[in-house]
Amino acid sequence: MASDKRARRAVVTGASSGIGAEYAAALARRGWDLVLVARRADRLDALAGRLREECGAGVEPLVADLARSPDLARVAERVTADDVALLVNNAGINGYGPFTEVDPALLAKVLDVNVVAPTVLTRAALPGMLARGRGAVVNVASLLAFAGSLPPGPLPHRAVYGGTKGYMVTFTRTLAAELADSPVRVQVVCPGLTATEFHLGTGEAPVGGEARVHEDGGMPPADVVAASLAGLESGEALCVPGLSDPGPLTGLAEAELALRNGSGAVLADRYRAADARAGEPE
């Protein structure tokens, strides 16, 4: 796609650090021009200057807080432009903490940034991509989407964050199936622990200062991006960068099919028996 001179601009949200900055750098090296979206103007300007100098990329910094409706509307307007051929929905905040203790306003912000924003931006981008016959959307989720009932420690308290990433997985995979016969590709990438600054805050405010890495380490963000872009080229709708054996992806589809077999009109025997016992006198 990067060789298509008619439209080769990528919009990357959450581009000021971590995985987003790595997407920006990798795409710039591949010949893409960029629109970089984040809250931190200083970091955006520094990254834009570096990519212009090192890669000759055309870079537009777009300072925006995707939890704010006016800012989201500005970014949505930009992604409708004819030059946008790739949208990377990477921005995200975690809002970690025990569900009953986290500020409800922060939880609402997690939903706005992790669910509302990528949904709105994808909806804004796709009609033009489909009309032009080319384009792609990459949504960055997390393996915490599959963490389910695993207890905190070492995993974080994550009920809302995990829920938002579960939404991104289901949304993207379902959309990819809907667009399977179109020229537009859709992918969700699910990294595990990644060596970024993501865990240094909850998302109430941007992490200040120079870019840092949390103490727990994890996969280098450049490797996450390399896996995502390779998977996008091969048509992979669900990318798990650290998964060597793709068998569990097939198993996931098979398990989903088995679960959907529960959509029949007849109550399962295990519930019928329990219902009958509940009606017996003690």
Q: Determine the Cα–Cα distance for residues 107 and 48; give it in Å rounded to an integer.
A: 31
CA trace torsion 20, 142, 153, 253 (10° rounding): -170
Beta-strand ranges (E) seen in the chain are 9-13, 33-38, 59-63, 84-89, 136-140, 185-189, 238-239
Whether 119 shows a pLDDT value over 70: the answer reads: yes
The mean per-residue pLDDT over the stretch 52-61 comes to 97
Active site residues: 161
Residues 6+ apart with CB under 8 A from 38: 13, 14, 15, 16, 17, 20, 44, 63, 64, 91
- Do the Cβ atoms of 199 and 185 come closer than 8 Å? no
User: pLDDT tens for residues 222-271?
Assistant: 999 999 999 999 999 999 999 999 999 999 999 999 999 999 899 999 89
Whether 54 shows a pLDDT value over 70: the answer reads: yes
For the chain, domain boundaries? 9-278
The mean per-residue pLDDT over the stretch 47-59 comes to 97
Residues 6+ apart with CB under 8 A from 136: 1, 85, 86, 87, 129, 184, 185, 186, 187, 232
By C-alpha distance, which of 3, 7, 5 is closest to 135? 7
User: pLDDT tens for residues 136-165?
Assistant: 999 999 999 999 999 998 899 999 999 999
Question: What does the DSSP 8-state code read for residue 280?
Answer: S
Q: Is the pTM of this model over 0.85?
A: yes
Question: What does the DSSP 8-state code read for residue 249?
Answer: H
**Residue 117 vs residue 8, higher pLDDT:** 117
Instruction: Say what the pLDDT of residue 279 is.
Output: 63
**Residue 213 vs residue 130, higher pLDDT:** 130
Token code pair at residue 2: 């990067």
- Give the CATH superfamily of 9-278: NAD(P)-binding Rossmann-like Domain (3.40.50.720)
Cβ neighbours, 10 Å, residue 229: 22
Q: Half-sphere exposure of residue 173, counting CA atoms within 13 Å on the CB side? A: 15
Whether 1 shows a pLDDT value over 70: the answer reads: no
Q: Determine the Cα–Cα distance for residues 260 and 34; give it in Å rounded to an integer.
A: 41
